[in-house]
């Protein structure tokens, strides 16, 4: 099998697909390539002409080692014969890498572009909990892959990826973007551009090409888990007020979302041409859920939570609430299917921006699945795309 890693002596990124999909010592010819783009702060990895993974390098320092590149002495010549090792001092575009592979007689597998405009995109937002491995490396990863397949997700905005992304993406046969150890995107459709906004651990995304010329931007988000408002709410001995919850919220999540939206603004201004989807673990409730008619769930409190209000003010639609507008009948709790005694709330979301996007179906996965691998439920939304070219 093959793997790839890069580091700056303090931090390191690894691409290590499972042996089945990463196999190269199989008696056939393969071409492996990677291209580092310093301006875009990204590395793209290719196997047989196909871009299998894209890694953000924005969290790393200088990659210059001062040593010459060479073929490792650790390569087993009985298993692998390297015909041609080339080091090119420039960024090689994806189409040129494809052409090199084809010029040597290679065939490029379908990269996933739809032959016709995509009218419906099934989007999942999911915090997989410590890389999906809390129930064991094999069992946890298998359950995570199976959950995504069962949901039928075309794209996944993932949190707590933590070293499992390459394995999961390979198990799905999807394109893969790693923003940081925490955040990633997996997609049935090819990744054309990456967007390293705000902080690597908190926010980042990609431009996807669904069909020829049909673009959508998808961002994965995780904002601070503190303050622990749920712990306060469960402690019946503690006096909790709306003002207290709001003041604490603005110390972390409320400010983080404002900073994220400021950096996202140029992309939102283009959302009529390239619509925007943000999915992730917001660790924060919604003002749409903490209303007067749901106050019985929240110690009689009504709270205008600032994170969801900021998303609304920026022009986003809460996809789950568009489909299920009544929080009494459809609470949509995503925290937590794993811990029955925990505070229950909806803290994971998929947001839509751009008039061409609407939600036709929305579900929460995790409560009915035996051995669900995460402490978060997954949000899955069918996003309809109007006016696709």
- The confidence band for 76, taking pLDDT boundaries of 50, 70 and 90, is low
- For every residue of 299-320, DSSP letters joined together read TT-----HHHHHHHHTT-EEHH
Give residue-wise pLDDT tens across range 84-133.
Answer: 778 888 898 999 999 999 998 888 877 899 999 999 999 999 999 999 99
Give residue-wise pLDDT tens across range 359-381.
Answer: 999 999 999 998 999 999 999 99
- Cis peptide bond prior to 336, omega within 30° of 0: yes
d(CA 322, CA 21): 39
Domains of the chain, each with CATH number or no CATH? 4-103 (no CATH), 120-385 (3.60.10.10)
Say what the pLDDT of residue 23 is: 74
**Lowest-confidence pick of 104-113, 134-143, 327-336, 343-352:** 104-113
250 pLDDT higher than 80: yes
3-state secondary structure of 233: helix
33 pLDDT higher than 80: yes
d(CA 121, CA 140): 26
Percentage of the chain beyond pLDDT 70 is 95
**Average pLDDT over every residue of 341-349:** 97
Give residue-wise pLDDT tens across range 284-310.
Answer: 999 999 999 999 999 999 999 999 999
3-state secondary structure of 363: strand
- The confidence band for 235, taking pLDDT boundaries of 50, 70 and 90, is very high
H helix intervals, 55-111 = 94-103
Say what the pLDDT of residue 24 is: 78
Give residue-wise pLDDT tens across range 198-209.
Answer: 999 999 999 999
- The confidence band for 71, taking pLDDT boundaries of 50, 70 and 90, is low
27 pLDDT higher than 70: yes
């Amino acid at each position: 099998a093959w793997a790839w890693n890069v580091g700056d002596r303090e931090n390191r990124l690894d691409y290590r697909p499972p042996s089945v999909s990463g196999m190269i010592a199989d008696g056939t010819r393969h071409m492996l390539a990677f291209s580092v783009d310093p301006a875009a702060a990204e590395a793209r990895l290719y196997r047989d002409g196909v871009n299998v993974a894209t890694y953000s390098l924005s969290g790393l320092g200088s990659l210059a080692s001062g040593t010459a590149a060479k073929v490792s002495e650790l390569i087993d010549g009985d298993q692998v014969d390297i015909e041609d090792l080339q080091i090119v001092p420039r960024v090689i575009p994806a189409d040129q890498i494809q052409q090199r592979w084809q010029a040597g007689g290679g065939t490029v597998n379908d990269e996933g572009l739809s032959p016709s405009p995509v009218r419906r995109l099934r989007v999942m937002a999911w915090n997989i909990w410590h890389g999906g491995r809390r129930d064991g490396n094999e069992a946890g990863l298998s359950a995570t892959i199976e959950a995504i397949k069962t949901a039928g997700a075309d794209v996944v905005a993932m949190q707590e990826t933590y070293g499992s992304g390459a394995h999961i993406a390979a198990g799905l046969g999807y394109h893969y973007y790693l923003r940081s150890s925490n955040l990633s995107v997996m997609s049935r459709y090819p990744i054309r551009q990456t967007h390293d906004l705000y902080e690597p651990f908190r926010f980042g995304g990609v431009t996807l090409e669904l069909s020829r010329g049909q673009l959508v931007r998808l961002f994965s988000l995780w904002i601070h888990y503190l303050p622990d408002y749920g712990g306060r709410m469960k402690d019946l001995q503690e006096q909790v007020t709306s003002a207290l919850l709001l003041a604490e919220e603005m110390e972390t999540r409320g400010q983080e979302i404002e900073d994220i939206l400021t950096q996202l603004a140029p992309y939102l201004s283009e959302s009529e041409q390239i619509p925007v989807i943000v999915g992730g673990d917001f660790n924060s409730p919604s003002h749409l859920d903490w209303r007067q008619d749901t106050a019985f769930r929240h110690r009689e409190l009504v709270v205008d939570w600032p994170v969801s209000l900021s998303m609304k003010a920026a022009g986003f639609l809460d996809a789950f609430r568009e489909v299920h507008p009544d929080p009494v009948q459809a609470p949509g709790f995503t925290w937590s299917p794993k811990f029955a005694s925990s505070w229950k709330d909806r803290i994971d979301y998929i947001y839509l921006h751009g008039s061409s996007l609407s939600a036709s179906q929305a579900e929460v996965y995790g409560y009915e699945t035996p051995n669900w691998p995460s402490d978060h439920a997954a949000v899955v939304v069918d996003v309809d795309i109007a006016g696709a070219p």
